[in-house]
Structure 1
Amino acid sequence: MNFLISLFFVGAMSFTPAAPEEACICKGQEKFPTPPADQNTLFYIQRTPNTNTIIYALNFEKKDQLDADNPVHPYWIRYQEEGQKEELSFIQRNYAYGLKTEDLGNGKYELRFVSYKKLPFYLTKSSRDNQYHIHAVINKKKIEVSRVFLQIEGGSFWLPNVVCAEVKGVDPDTGVEIVERFKP
C-alpha cells in the first residue's frame, strides 16, 4: 500500500546512492502503463506489486490561480481495476501519499510528504518553459521530478520491503534526462 511509508520509514529517503558494487536495478517497470499526458500533471508514483499509480497534479482555485493551501492534488489511477481515477483514502492522504504545503511566496511552495517530512520538494515555475514543476535534490543533484518507482519484495502492509528505488526526471537547467537509483 504505502510507497512513501516504506520508502521513508525504511530509511531510503536519505537518497544516498548505493556503492557501485551495490547498485540496484528496478525490475518489471516496463510492464507499467504511462499515465496519460496532462498539462496539470507534475509527477507520478508507481510501485510493485500492482500498477495502480498515484498522480500529483496542479490544483487550481481559479482558472490560472493555484490553490495556495493545496497547490498539488494527489489521486489514484486504478489500473488494476478499470483505469478509473479515485481519490486517496483518509489513511493514504494523512499517513502516506498526502502532502503538507508551505507557501514560500512568489509562486513557490515547499511540499513535504506526510510520511517523511525531512525531504522537501519544491513546486516552482520554470524559467525554461514558464510551467510549474516539482524539484528535489537527490544524490546531490537537482532533479525536475517526473516519476518515482519502487520495487517492493515482501514485508508487511505498513512496512513493505523496498529493494530498489528509482527517481526519474530532468536536469532543470539543461533538460537532460536524469535517472537515480538506490537501495533503501
Structure 2
Amino acid sequence: MNNIIHFMARLSLLYYLLWSTSIHAYAHNRDTAPNSTYPTPDRLFHIARSLNRNLVCYDANQANGKLDTKEPVKVYWLNREKEPGKTNGLSFIQKKMAYGYKVVSVAEHTCTITLTAYPERELTICREGDHFVCRVKIDNRQAILQSLYVKASPNNPLNVEYVELQGITTDTGVPVTEKVSK
C-alpha cells in the first residue's frame, strides 16, 4: 500500500508541473486503442492521462533486430491536440519524476525495466515474432501491456485517483485490466 501511495505522489507532482504550464486541459478520450494513437512499428505501450489527450509513448529502441543495450526504450510525448502527430522528448524532470525508466537487466532480445513512478512492478521487453512486446502481470495474469491510463482528479490535478493497466493475456489473448488506486 505504501508503494502505491509513493507512486501516486510522484505522478501527482509531475501532473502539477505539467498542468501549471498547460493552456488547455481537455477531458480525456478514453479511446487508447493503438489505431487511434499514431502507432509506430516499435510501440510497446503508452500512457494516457485524464488531463488531456496527449500520450507518453514507449517504443523498443532497436538496431538490426536487437535491442540497444544502452537505451532499450525510447520515451517521448505524442501530441494529439494542438499539433496532432508531433513528438517531443521528455524533460529531465519528467524522466526523473514519473515517465522515465530504469534498466534492471538487458540481453540481446530481452530487457527488464521498471518505470520511475512505479519501480515495484517489472516490465519485460522481449521479441515476439518480428517485433518486441512488453510483458507484465495485470490482475495476476501474464499479459502484453498496451497502455496505462492515469485518472487525475478534475478539481485537483495533483491528486491521482487511479492508474489502470490495460493489456492482452498471453495465454488466451483476451483483454485484461487492473485498476490501482489508493
Same fold (TM over 0.5): yes
**Cα distance change on mapping 1:32 and 1:108 into 2, 3 Å:** closer
- Code of the aligned partner of 1:167: L
TM-score between both structures, scaled by the size of structure 2:
0.75
Measure the CA separation in 1 of the matches of 2:149 and 2:68. 27
Taking the aligned partners of 1:78 and 1:7, their CA distance within structure 2 comes to 28
**Residues 138-149 of structure 1 mapped to structure 2, 5 A cutoff:** 138-149=138-149
- 1:73: which partner in 2? 74
Structure 1 CA distance for aligned equivalents of residues 168 and 28 of structure 2 = 22
Q: Secondary structure at 1:96's aligned position in 2?
A: helix
In structure 2, distance between residues paired with 1:181 and 1:134: 18
1:134: how far off? 0.7
5+ residue gaps, structure 1, are 13-26
Q: 1:118 to 1:43 in 2, by over 3 A?
A: same
Please, what TM-score do these two structures have when normalized by structure 1?
A: 0.75
Structure-2 separation of matches of 1:110 and 1:32? 24
Contact 1:6 1:161 in 2 (8 A): no
Q: Which structure 2 residue ranges, 5 or more long, are not aligned?
A: 12-26
Q: Is it true that 1:134 corresponds to 2:134 in the alignment?
A: yes
Equivalent residues in 2 for 1:1-184, closer than 5 Å: 8-10=7-9, 28-30=28-30, 34-60=36-62, 62-83=63-84, 84-105=86-107, 107-126=109-128, 129-153=129-153, 154-155=155-156, 160-184=158-182
C-alpha distance in 1, partners of 2:51/2:32? Answer: 11
The 8 Å contact of residues 7 and 162 in structure 1, kept in 2 or not, is answered as: no
Greater relative contact order structure (CA < 8 Å, 6+ sep) = 1
For the aligned residue pairs, the C-alpha RMSD in angstroms reads 2.7
Which structure shows the bigger proportion of residues in helix conformation?
A: 2
Work out the CA distance in 1 between the residues paired with 2:94 and 2:134: 20
Runs of 4+ residues deviating >6 angstroms: none
SS of structure 2 residue aligned to 1:70: coil
Counterpart residue type for residue 169 of structure 2: D
Query: Which deviations, in whole Å up to 9, do the C-alpha atoms of 1:57-114 show, x marking residues without a partner?
Result: 0112x33222112111110012232121001111111221011113343522111112
Distance, in Å, in 1 between the alignment partners of 2:117 and 2:181 is 19
Rate the CA distance shift 1:94–1:28 in 2: closer, same or farther, 3 A: closer
> What amino acid sits opposite 2:132 in the alignment?
Y
Separation of aligned partners in 2, 1:113 and 1:57: 14
Distance 1:31 1:144 in 2: 18
Q: Provide the secondary structure at the position in 1 that maps to 2:30.
A: helix
The worse-fitting range, judged by mean Cα deviation, of 129-138 and 51-60 is 129-138
